[in-house]
Amino acid sequence: MINGLGTGGAERSLAEMLEPISRHGIKILPVCLYPRDEGVQSEVMNAGYEVRFVGPPSFATLFRLRDLIAETHPDVIHTTIFEADIIGRLASIGSSTAVVSSIVNTSYAITKSQNPHLNRGKLALARVVDGFTARHLNTGFHALTETVAEAAVKALGIKKISIDVIPRGRNRQRLGEPSPERRREVRRALGIAESTTVLLSVGRQEFQKGHVNAVEALAVLRSRRPNLLLLIAGRDGAASDRLRRATVELDLKDHVRILGHRSDVPDLMVAADLLTFPSLYEGFGGALIEAMALDLSIVASDLPAIREVTGDTVAFVTPGSFSALAVGIEDLLDDDSRSRQLRQAGRDRFEKNFTIDSTSKRMAAFYHAALDS
């Protein structure tokens, strides 16, 4: 049960898991509140998977979901993202089905309250509803990192023992392998010269992802590195206007390309020289493990969840500081030896911890354990 099969990390992770988890005797029926034009929905449906749509949160949707539960008799209802969490939990009342939820972000972090687009009253109410339904209706929880698990314990009042920490995984076959030929082909398609140094920032255009800091860091570096180009890949969001305004005000129109949602992020990573990941708060960061798999250098905000995911395979900078980000970018671009070491360590870490086969095996064990609890 998920809001929709759109463009986010949770959606991508669900799409990646469908086939490999079936090898463990588990069949997933994706159920969505909303249909999505962008994202992984078409990919999932074209692969032959049935997807059910029950509609936006309402009493009618609640009853439709209850009817679907009665029709399909699932062993486990697995909810992901707030709206789906609440409607999925409520629909399970009266059934014997185990209910588990994924905790994918530090959703009630203090940093989030600095978001100018945030309604603090709604956030406080969401926290109360989330915590009450989680404590009383869930069998267990799946967290992407220890960081989000600990945040959920504090914010929602759930017990740490009820949370299994299992990271996301990525399909190496979908990502492909980096090569000079692939790099040249992607750059040619984008109209980017080989002499251009390409920075890539991936994530939806929201306050959390800190893309504006990447633009401001580029403004600092431009005079010394006039061949820099920043690509920003991610769907429009509440921060889109500010992002475009900063690009114009800093006179960076020739140095920044806001690409919107892209289905070819692995290709963009192969074409890039460095991934900037300037998130202000984070629960996991799917783009990080994709970059690690594809030998791409990374400069990232020094956040607990990011350190947990990447270890010491990236260059860390102070979150929210464009000047620190600029220094981190320039230092890594200037140090080929360090960059190579970090890239190799990142790839090794991906192969050890984040392949889709290993994470799907752990998720299968999680589902079986939910039945026994």
Q: Where do the domains of the chain lie, and which CATH numbers do they carry?
A: 9-169+356-372 (3.40.50.2000), 174-353 (3.40.50.2000)
Nearest residue to 231 via CA among 248, 250, 211, 251: 211
pLDDT tens series, the chain, 373 aa: 999 999 989 999 999 999 999 999 999 999 999 999 999 999 999 999 999 999 999 999 999 999 999 999 999 999 999 999 999 999 999 999 999 999 999 888 766 667 777 788 888 899 999 999 999 999 999 999 999 999 999 999 999 999 999 999 999 999 999 999 999 999 999 999 999 999 999 999 999 999 999 999 999 999 999 999 999 999 999 999 999 999 999 999 999 999 999 999 999 999 999 999 999 999 999 999 999 999 999 999 999 999 999 999 999 999 999 999 999 999 999 999 999 999 999 999 999 999 999 999 999 999 999 988 7
Q: What is the pTM of this model?
A: 0.94
Q: Which residue in this structure is represented by tokens 């690409």? A: 259
- pLDDT at position 112 is 62
- For 73-227, strand residue ranges (E) read 76-80, 98-103, 140-143, 163-165, 197-202
Query: What is the rounded CA–CA span in Å between residue 22 and residue 27?
Result: 6
- pLDDT at position 205 is 95
Query: What is the rounded CA–CA span in Å between residue 15 and residue 161?
Result: 28
Report whether 144 contacts 283 (CB < 8 A).
yes
Query: What is the rounded CA–CA span in Å between residue 21 and residue 32?
Result: 19
Tokens linked to 292? 């690690």
- pLDDT at position 291 is 98
- pLDDT at position 119 is 81
Would you tell me how many other CB atoms lie within 10 Å of the CB of residue 38?
16
Bridge partners, residue 321, by sequence: none
Per-residue burial over 338-354, b if 16 or more Cβ lie within 10 Å, else e, is ebeebbebbbebbeeeb
Report whether 354 contacts 293 (CB < 8 A).
yes
Report how far apart the first and last C-alpha atoms of the chain are (Å, whole number): 20
